[in-house]
Amino acid sequence: MKQKGYNSIGYREKVHRRINVFSLCELSNSLKYVLGLLILFVIVIPNNSSAQTKNPPVSLNKTNPHYFTFRGQPTVLITSAEHYGPVLNPDFDYITYLDVLQVNGFNLTRIFLGDYVSAPGFFDYPVDEPLTPAPGRLLTPWARSPVPGYANGGNKFDLSTWDENYFKRLRDFIAEAGKRGIVVEVTFFCPYYANGLSPYCSDNNIQGLTSTTNALSNTALVAVQEALVEKVVSELRDFDNIYYEPCNEPYHGGGPRD
């Protein structure tokens, strides 16, 4: 079944978006920690893949940082993107979506990884938007456990076990975007908006995490997030068409500053 409604261009536009999404002075200590993890993992994770990228990754242009450098050319990244769910929603037809981006001259899109999904009707989004998968259809980095009870259908998640079907879809999406000259912003975390659908919520995983608060003091969640950062960076390290956003809307909800 193909997801309807958002297989074509949506509404979000990003013009001259910079890789340094937040200045360091705006980041909480926990987000600085995540950013540090990203830098560490990008530098030191061994590359066990035989496929080497032919180009350096997208980066800020050294002559004019209002531009990027992508595949040897000064580049402006522009998009009007769907709502971040082409990988986590297995019913979304991302080939059609990427084709539409390319035909319309857009060269950027953004994804969430599956630790957050929207509740139907949230913020007046269409109920069939990509970030709202059908009941039982959420695909995440973590495998489903044998235990029933995920809030939006299907079994709970096992945060200690990766779902290789997810990572196959993630790699394919990035690869298909790259074939079309499209850069992908990969967003790791967000405030989760207390909707009860994140796999991190205690009722949705067999580990029984008690909080979705992004803070260094939340050591159980930090351990899961560390493992996710390492896994994703390792899986995507051969691609030249990605950059990472540590956290979406870190200021939302008045969370702790640590």
pLDDT tens-digit series, residues 180-212? 999 999 999 988 887 899 999 999 999 999 888
Q: Tell me which residue of 77, 90, 70, 130 sits closest to 1, measured CA to CA.
A: 90
- pLDDT for 241 equals 98
Q: Is 218 left (phi over 0), alpha (psi -120 to 50) or beta?
A: beta
- Cβ–Cβ < 8 Å for 87, 110: no
List the structure tokens of 94: 């991302």
- Cβ–Cβ < 8 Å for 112, 88: yes
Backbone angles phi, psi at 100, to 5 degrees: -65, -45
- pLDDT for 258 equals 60
d(CA 70, CA 52): 16
- Cβ–Cβ < 8 Å for 114, 166: yes
List the structure tokens of 60: 């800020």
- pLDDT for 214 equals 86
Which residues of the chain are modeled with pLDDT < 50?
A: 1-27, 43-52
What is the model's pTM?
Answer: 0.81
Report the SS3 class of residue 165: helix
Upper half-sphere CA count for residue 209 (Cβ side, 13 Å): 24
- pLDDT for 136 equals 96
- pLDDT for 33 equals 54
- pLDDT for 81 equals 85
- Cα-atom radius of gyration of the chain, to the nearest Å? 18
- pLDDT for 165 equals 98
| Helix ranges, the chain (H) | 29-44, 94-103, 164-179, 219-236
Report the SS3 class of residue 69: strand
Q: Which amino acid is at 133?
A: P
Q: Which amino acid is at 209?
A: L
- pLDDT for 19 equals 34
- Cβ–Cβ < 8 Å for 156, 150: yes
- Cβ–Cβ < 8 Å for 52, 62: no
- pLDDT for 191 equals 86
- pLDDT for 1 equals 42
